[in-house]
Amino acid sequence: MKIVDLSKPIQYNREDPWFMKVKIKHKPHHKAKWLLRILGLPFRLFPKGFVGWADDSIQKMGVHATTHIDAPWHYAPEVNGERAKTIDEIPLEWCYADGMVIDMKHKEDFDPITQEDLEDFLQKHGLELKKGMIVLIRTGRDRFNGTKDFHKVGTGMSAEATEWLIDQGIKVMGIDSWGWDLPLPYMIAKAKETGNSEYFWEAHLVGRNKEYCHMEQLVNLDALPLEGFKVAVFPLKIVGASAAPARVVAILEEEQP
């Protein structure tokens, strides 16, 4: 069995934009000795060679700041008239399934991924989507992960492509770009330029009518075959949250050619 990590490290990176900054405080072992002393354990009763325990605290991290999975609640408060699920309400059965990689590395920055793109790729490679699969969109833009321009570059999913995947029975899908849609600054600029009120966040907003989850900021999709592996994406159980960081992994039962 081989396990491929598809999650980025959670750490401070000065190149991240302000809305993605992560701040973690690492407490050294010796700090715990003084805590124990305050709690009433005399130094003479400390175990021989005991130097204390390490501890850490996450002081700042948005739930969308690193590799994560979005809940339906992120897109809108309701899905087709029903209350949308928060991340702690996502069925765990959605989060472990056969995986498939759809390679869209040829798509230029700001050129949306269409339903035709997906269908053409599947037909060319003789692949078949099956209900309940987890689909991973490979754009190659994870090479910008950790840079200040990560959220400004790349392709992204169109509304029609997102809806089509859902209609094939796909509940969980993911991408190695910063976001599921085209880059956020580009969408804002184009919406203002065209005056089209339906342009902005079009793929995310499919979730107002059809229930689904997507992952963003995946890494290492180049290490995977197109099929023949499992994906596990179990989010932190943050009550009432719109998303949660997840350790996303692919599991290959045997070496792939």
What value does the CA radius of gyration of the chain take, rounded to a whole number of Å?
A: 21
Quote the DSSP letter at residue 159.
H
115, two tokens = 């339903």
pLDDT at 37: 84
Q: How many CA atoms are closer than 13 Å to the CA of 100, on its beta-carbon side?
A: 20
Helix (H) or strand (E) holding 235: strand 229-235
pLDDT at 257: 53
Query: Tens digit of pLDDT for each residue in 8-42?
Result: 999 999 999 999 999 999 999 988 888 888 889 88
pLDDT at 200: 95
pLDDT at 256: 52
**Helical ranges in 28-81 per DSSP H:** 30-38, 72-75
How many other CB atoms sit within 10 Å of the CB of residue 26? 8
Residue matched to tokens 């190659």? 140
pLDDT at 50: 87
Q: For the chain, which ranges sit under pLDDT 70?
A: 255-257
pLDDT at 191: 94
pLDDT at 4: 98
Do you know the residue count of the chain?
Answer: 257
- Backbone phi and psi for residue 97, each to the nearest 5 degrees, phi listed first: -165, 170
Tell me whether strands 243-252 and 2-5 are parallel, antiparallel or unpaired.
antiparallel
pLDDT at 34: 84
pLDDT at 254: 72
Estimate to the nearest angstrom the gap between the alpha carbon of 179 and the chain centroid: 9
pLDDT at 212: 98
Task: Estimate the crossing angle of helix 115-125 against helix 159-167, to 10 degrees.
Answer: 50
89, two tokens = 């309400």
| Per-residue CA distances from 137 to 65, 151, 213, 231 (Å) | 19, 17, 14, 13
The domains found in the chain, sorted by start residue, are: 5-9+63-252 (3.50.30.50), 23-60 (no CATH)
